[in-house]
Amino acid sequence: MLDFFISPAMAQDAGAAGGGIAQIVMLVGFVLIFYFLLWRPQSKRAKQHRELVGGLSKGDEVVIGGGLVGRITKVGDEFLTLEIADNTEVNVQKNAVANVLPKGTIKSI
């Protein structure tokens, strides 16, 4: 009996409302996936790198992004001086440091 009062346009509107909710749920799902798979791990890596760069000191043995290995002889605000061989020093940005090596690693290479 109620079918008489529901027009086809009303039925389409009811279906569209259900589809709109599904689209919102899908969008929220994509945002959550993006957050947990991309943004969160990247921010963790960035935080670890900031801590690594902040903890650099004279005498540390490091590897920079290009694969150059050396010992830090001087640390500044944005740059550090890296001794790569006897009497051979280069200035590099602190952010270029990829990893800090254990003491004595350079001698074993």
Model confidence over 65-85: pLDDT tens digits? 999 999 999 999 999 999 999
HSE (side-chain half, CA atoms, 13 Å) at 10: 6
Asked whether residue 10 carries a pLDDT value surpassing 60, the answer given is: no
Provide the percentage of residues in the chain whose pLDDT is more than 90.
Answer: 79
End-to-end, the C-alpha distance of the chain in Å comes to 88
User: What SS3 class is residue 98?
Assistant: strand
**How many CB atoms within 10 Å of residue 81?**
16
On whether the CB atoms of residues 100 and 89 are closer than 8 A, the answer is no
Average the pLDDT over 87-103 and give the result. 95
How sure is the predictor about 17, in pLDDT bands with cuts at 50, 70 and 90?
A: low
HSE (side-chain half, CA atoms, 13 Å) at 65: 7
Residue 20's pLDDT is 87
Residue 109's pLDDT is 84
- Tens of pLDDT along 28-76? 999 999 999 999 999 999 999 999 999 999 999 999 999 999 999 999 9
CA angle 81, 103, 57 (to 5 degrees): 40
On whether the CB atoms of residues 34 and 78 are closer than 8 A, the answer is no
